[in-house]
Amino acid sequence: MATLTIDGKEYDTEQLSDAAREQLVNIQIVDEKLRTAQRDAAIMQTARNAYIQALQAELPKES
């Protein structure tokens, strides 16, 4: 039996209506997309930092 806790109250997912279970699936899909977006953002931030370092290496040196 899987349970879902919302606002401190537990619900048996097998007892949820079809519409409620559909919303739960939607939440799971969005959560996965958010995790993917967060991973992508971390990758892009790492790439940005590398580009900044490369740019700094190309800038004229102070004399």
CA dihedral 5→19→25→29, nearest 10 degrees, is -120
Q: Is residue 5 part of a domain?
A: no
Q: Is residue 30 part of a domain?
A: yes
* pLDDT tens by residue, 38-63: 999 999 999 999 999 999 999 999 87
Give the chain's domain count: 1
Q: What is the pTM of this model?
A: 0.76
Question: pLDDT class for 1, splitting at 50, 70, 90?
Answer: confident
pLDDT of residue 63: 72
The neighbouring-strand residues paired with 3 are 12
Task: Tell me the residue range of the domain where 33 lies.
Answer: 16-57
Give the C-alpha separation, 58 to 32, whole Å: 39
Q: Is residue 31 part of a domain?
A: yes
Q: Is residue 1 part of a domain?
A: no
On average, the pLDDT of the chain sits at: 96
Give the C-alpha separation, 59 to 14, whole Å: 62
Q: Is residue 52 part of a domain?
A: yes
